[in-house]
Amino acid sequence: MPLLAIETSCDDTCAALLEGDRVLSSVISSQAVHDRYGGVVPEVASRHHVELVVPVVAAALAEAGADLDRVDRVAVTAGPGLIGALLVGLSAAKAIAAPRRLPLIPVDHLHGHVAANFLEPEPLEPPFLCLIASGGHTLLAAVRDRAGFEVLGETLDDAAGEAIDKAARMLGLGYPGGPALQALAAEGDPAAFELPVAMSRDPGLDFSFSGLKTALVYRCRELGEEGVAERRADLAAGFQAAVVDQLVAKLRRALEREPWPAVALGGGVAANGPLRAAVRELCERRGVRLKLVAPELCTDNAAMIGAAAGSSEALAWPGYLGFDAFATGPRSAR
């Protein structure tokens, strides 16, 4: 019998049905309303989740040709994320599971990004090194088994995706900024402006993107409004290159510290073409297998939550009725 998974950690309302590592259906409803604000507004996101979660679950069931009577477990993102948004998904999951006395499986959102690599076709089994880069998180994870991961390094300030969105806003590209910045950068010269690759001399595996963001602010001030309009493509190309260079540099350092048989990417930034190409080149040089999940599994989705649920603790009824969501999590999801 299938597992129903729900994901509402940010602004995407998601539901999926899985049998083991096979995805029967996956529905993602993105809230386009946030582009007018230049970023996700937590209260607005929560209200839209309330409106969308029931029809999204219904759509996932219909796509899989199933109904709730066939579901034997319910998995849901418990955190980290926007607390109001998480509570909507958790409440919906409880409302589905409790009347049927079904087990409820709370899942760590970051574990979900790791577990997306377990899904068919061509699932990747541990051990592997996973780079997760998204709007809310940037970290290197050591994945030694399916049950969790160890954080080797993480961002000290902005996440990579957050920095990209802020850069896109500075360049007048709107929100979300990733796809637009990549498209504009393809027309520019990444060497036209000197933008710093932060932490390049730091021996650790942590990341930092706030300095790069500040450097772009200064470049834009120096150029003025007309100058920015004329050089937007070059600024976008330089900023994107600096983000990719730092991510790849830390990944290279992690591979030098410990021999890993495989590398995987996760999170929305993992859909970035230049990043995927740079990591592919690195892995080919080192003779390491590279797992690139489909772009729709890089961004937030419920299929990855269902994948992580397979190795997460299930809570029995009625004990989970008092279970709560969490906005931030520990360094190690173990």
Give me the residue label for tokens 């080149």: 281
Rounded to an integer, what distance in angstroms lies between the CA atom of residue 178 and that of residue 142?
A: 26
Across the range 80-100, mean pLDDT stands at 97
Which band of pLDDT confidence, cut at 50, 70 and 90, is reported for residue 330? very low
Question: Does 171 score more than 90 pLDDT?
Answer: yes
Residues in the chain: 334
Q: Are 247 and 139 in contact (CB under 8 A)?
A: no
Q: What is the model's pLDDT at position 34?
A: 54
Q: Are 265 and 294 in contact (CB under 8 A)?
A: no
3-state secondary structure of 215: helix
Query: In Å, how far are 102, 147, 165 from 126, measured between CA atoms?
Result: 29, 10, 32
Which residues are paired to 13 by β-bridges? 29
Rounded to an integer, what distance in angstroms lies between the CA atom of residue 212 and that of residue 325?
A: 33
Query: In Å, how far are 35, 71, 275 from 158, measured between CA atoms?
Result: 20, 39, 18
Which tokens belong to 57?
A: 């679950």
3-state secondary structure of 277: helix
Which tokens belong to 203?
A: 């021996």
Q: Which helix (H) or strand (E) holds 140?
A: strand 138-143
β-pairing, 3-7 with 12-19?
A: antiparallel
Q: Say what the pTM is.
A: 0.92
Q: What is the model's pLDDT at position 135?
A: 87
**Lowest pLDDT segment from 65-69, 197-201, 217-221:** 197-201
Which band of pLDDT confidence, cut at 50, 70 and 90, is reported for residue 191? very high
Edge-to-edge strands of the sheet including 289-291? Answer: 150-154, 138-143, 128-133, 262-266, 289-291
Could you report the per-residue pLDDT of 23-55, keeping only the tens digit for each? 999 999 986 665 665 667 888 889 999 999 999
Which tokens belong to 5?
A: 């998974």
Other CB atoms within 10 Å distance of the CB of residue 94: 19
